[in-house]
Structure 1
Amino acid sequence: MRIRIALAAGLMALGATAALAGAASSQLEAYQPDPALRTAPKTELESRVRRACAVVQARLQNTAETTLERPCGCYARATLRALDASELEAYRTTGYFNDSARAKALEALDSCKLPRPV
């Protein structure tokens, strides 16, 4: 269960925004973000978002994660570039995107031509 939430959180950071939005509050309360997020360079955050995107999108599209490297790279770059300082700090603290960051992540999914999670 924690892995699913962590992947979803990363994907929220990835656009799996809907995955976390649908998660029960008790699941979110049990989720503990990786402490390394607090000090990770932005390139590491982008890498985490890209990996989470590949996992979620591979499931959504029933395809191999390796086929999603380019579109998920697009998504990760676009999402992190769109976040303001407070949204980025919230992600570092919680391990998932807040509401305003989720909206930006969904826009990035659309612009990178990736399907939105249900």
Structure 2
Amino acid sequence: MRLRTFLAAGLLALGATAALAGASSSQLEAYQPDPSLRTAPTSELETRVRRACAVVQARMQNTAETSFERPCGCYARTTLRALNASEIESYRTTGYFNDSARAKALGAIDSCKLQRPV
């Protein structure tokens, strides 16, 4: 149930961004990505990832989104800097991280001291 809540929060909060690091690809098959992802600059991708992170973390920890500005900023920067060109392209196409990007995103969750999704 927590995973479904996590998925719903991430999907509603800007479309299956990096905050969906814990979700499997099969759970996201029906998701339709935001078409603007394909042409969005990297700075916009980072903003989307940061905002989705804050929404998901706030719901998981039952606290205000604003309390996650710094750690989610860390998460978004760390994750996007770790991704290679093909992982970013996959994210732009699908709206969520592929398996190799997901592993990097989970590492960023840990290094930025955020709670991992269940």
Aligned with 1:17 (options 15, 21, 24): 21
TM-score when normalising by structure 2? 0.85
Residue 29 in structure 1 maps to residue 29 in structure 2 = yes
* Percent identical: 74
What code does the residue aligned with 2:117 have?
A: P
How far residue 32 of structure 1 moved from its aligned partner, in angstroms, is: 0.7
Aligned partner of 1:114 in structure 2 is 114
TM-score when normalising by structure 1? 0.85
SS at match of 2:117: coil
- Distance in 2, matches of 1:51 and 1:86, equals 23
**CA-to-aligned-CA distance 1:76-105 (integer Å, 9 cap, x gap):** 000000000000000000000000000000
**CA-to-aligned-CA distance 1:17-55 (integer Å, 9 cap, x gap):** 22x22x8x4x63321100000000000000000011001
What code does the residue aligned with 2:49 have?
A: V
Residue 66 in structure 1 maps to residue 70 in structure 2 = no
Aligned partner of 1:87 in structure 2 is 87
Unaligned residue ranges in structure 1 (runs of 5+):
none
Give me the CA root mean square deviation.
1.9
